[in-house]
Amino acid sequence: MTHPAGDLATLAGRILIAALFLAGAAQKASNPLAVETLLATQGWPDWLVWPALAFNLCAGVALILGWQVRPLALCLAAYCGVTSLFHYIPTDPWQMSIFVKNWAIAGGCLILFAQGAGRYALRP
C-alpha cells in the first residue's frame, strides 16, 4: 500500500530532477564554450555538447510529463555517473561536491526507476 501523498511526492521529485536537467540544457545553450572546454580537457570531442544539450532538454521534458520514466531514469543515472567523472578533482573541494551531487542525482533517478512515474503521468 502506498502513502496517500506518494504520487504527489513522485511528481514533485520528477519535476525537481527535471529542473536540474533543463537548467543544464539552458547552460549548455547559453555558454557552449564552457562545456566544450571541459570536454576537450578530458579528451572528449567538443561537439558532444550538442547531443548532451538535446538529451538534457528531452529528458527534462519527459520527466515532467512522466513519459517513459523507468527507462529514462536508468539512462539518466548512467549519464550522471559518466558526467561525474569530469568533476572528480580531489584537490578541488567545489568540484568534489559536484562529483558527489551527481551520484546523489543518480540515486534519485534509480529511485524513479524503481518507483515509476506515479499516478500523475502521461500513459501510452
70-107 pLDDT tens trace: 999 999 999 999 999 988 999 999 999 999 999 999 99
Residue 20's nearest CA partner among 88, 106, 97 is: 106
pTM of the model: 0.90
Q: Is 117 helix (H, G, I), strand (E, B) or coil?
A: coil
49: closest CA among 7, 8, 83, 91? 83
Q: How far apart are CA 15 and CA 21, in angstroms?
A: 10
The pLDDT value given to residue 10: 93
Give the pLDDT confidence of 32-68 residue by residue, as tens digits: 999 999 899 889 999 999 999 999 999 999 999 999 9
pLDDT in tens, 11-34: 999 999 999 999 999 999 999 999
Inter-axis angle of helices 6-30 and 49-65, to 10 degrees?
160
